[in-house]
Every structure is written in structure tokens, then in C-alpha cells.
């Protein structure tokens, strides 16, 4: 009787470890969202006209985006959850630290400065 219980417990531990390992692999290595889809989502959520986003990690969970005409600000951070939902928050001045996004910010500020 004790042997059967030990085997059952060991089997359950193996199943839990396999499920946990699979979930970790999915979250770590799974590309959560594509760049075009994310840019469209950021534009929709911020009310902007155009967004250019740069992936900040390997699996597409963290992005920095420059938004033209958005309600949040010119630089936003987007966090993509494993199931695909996107949360957009103000990125403050983090875009200025990214070499691919900084020229877009300076071009945007120059164009808004020229119109005033």
C-alpha cells in the first residue's frame, strides 16, 4: 500500500514538473506578438496616428514605442503578457536612450517646434 502511494506521488511530481517546465519554456521562448500587430495596438490604445516600436527583450514582452499624435506622450512602454494582451504606459524619456528611437523623437520635436 505504501509503495503504491509513493509511486502515485512520484508520478504526480513528474507531471507537475513537466507542466511547469513547459509553461516556463512557452513564456520564455515564445514570441508573444509581432511588431506590426503591436504597433497597430499601440496606435489604437493611445489614439495616435502612427507608432514605431523597438523590442527590448528576446520574447517580445517589453517594447518601447514612439507615438505620433498620441494621448499618452511621444514615448510609451508596452508590456505584452504571455496570452497576448498589451498594456501601454508612459515611457517618459526611455526612448531617448534607444539609438533607433531617439532620432524619431528629435524629428518629432523639431516638427512641432517649427509649427509654433
pTM of the prediction? 0.65
Contact 38, 80 (CB under 8 A): yes
Contact 43, 67 (CB under 8 A): yes
For residue 52, give the 3-state DSSP assignment.
strand
Contact 40, 65 (CB under 8 A): no
pLDDT given for residue 65 in this prediction = 92
Phi/psi at 26 (5° precision): -65, -45
Start-to-end C-alpha separation, the chain: 84
Q: How buried is 105 (Cβ within 10 angstroms: 0-12 exposed, 13-18 middle, 19+ buried)?
A: middle
Q: What is the pLDDT of residues 34-54, one digit of tens each?
A: 889 999 999 999 988 999 998
Q: What is the pLDDT of residues 56-95, one digit of tens each?
A: 887 788 999 999 887 777 889 999 987 778 999 888 788 8
Q: How far apart are CA 19 and CA 25, in angstroms?
A: 10
Amino acid at each position: 500500500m505504501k509503495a503504491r502511494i509513493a509511486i502515485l506521488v512520484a508520478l504526480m511530481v513528474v507531471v507537475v514538473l513537466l507542466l511547469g517546465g513547459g509553461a516556463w519554456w512557452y513564456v520564455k521562448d515564445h514570441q508573444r506578438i509581432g511588431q506590426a500587430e503591436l504597433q497597430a495596438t499601440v496606435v489604437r490604445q493611445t489614439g495616435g496616428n502612427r507608432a514605431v516600436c523597438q523590442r527590448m527583450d528576446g520574447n517580445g514582452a517589453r517594447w518601447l514605442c514612439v507615438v505620433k499624435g498620441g494621448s499618452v506622450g511621444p514615448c510609451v512602454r508596452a508590456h505584452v503578457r504571455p496570452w497576448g494582451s498589451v498594456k501601454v504606459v508612459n515611457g517618459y524619456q526611455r526612448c531617448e536612450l534607444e539609438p533607433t528611437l531617439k532620432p524619431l523623437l528629435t524629428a518629432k520635436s523639431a516638427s512641432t517646434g517649427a509649427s509654433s
